[in-house]
């Protein structure tokens, strides 16, 4: 099984897939305590040694707040109830929307 670092290495750089109609979701983070899913399509390093991710978010606030956007890896990993879905297989983003 690949580590998080190995899986991150497979994610395209930020803006690399912005013109694709149906980019691939490479990673899935989930909140095990309720609604909240983050599907990563792109990533890039920041100046402060963090990782900025881009993808589709199924908001914990409800369907009306689901959207594409940026989020930080450190923020996801800093919440005790959010985990990397190690069984997730990359797929077109429209399959998880």
pLDDT digit string (tens) for the chain, length 97 residues: 788 888 889 999 999 999 999 999 999 999 999 899 999 999 999 999 999 999 999 998 999 999 999 999 999 999 999 999 999 999 999 999 9
Structure tokens at 2: 């690949």
Say if CB 59 and CB 67 are below 8 A apart: yes
Instruction: Please name the helix (run of DSSP H) or strand (run of DSSP E) that holds residue 83, with its range, or none.
Output: strand 82-84
- 78 three-state secondary structure: coil
Distance CA 59, CA 31 (A): 10
Q: What is the pLDDT of residue 8?
A: 87
Partner residues linked to 75 by β-bridges:
none
Distance CA 26, CA 39 (A): 7
Q: What is the pLDDT of residue 40?
A: 98
Nearest to 70 by CA among 86, 50, 90, 48: 50
Q: What is the pLDDT of residue 14?
A: 97
């Amino acid at each position: 099984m690949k580590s998080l670092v190995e899986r991150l290495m497979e994610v395209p750089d930020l803006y690399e897939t912005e013109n694709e109609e149906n980019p691939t979701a490479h990673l899935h983070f989930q909140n095990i305590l309720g609604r909240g899913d983050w599907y990563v399509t792109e990533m890039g390093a920041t100046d402060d040694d963090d990782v900025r991710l881009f993808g589709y978010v199924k908001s914990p606030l409800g369907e009306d707040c689901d959207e594409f956007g940026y989020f930080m890896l450190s923020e996801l990993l800093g919440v005790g109830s959010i985990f990397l879905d190690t069984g997730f297989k990359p797929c077109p983003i429209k399959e998880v929307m």
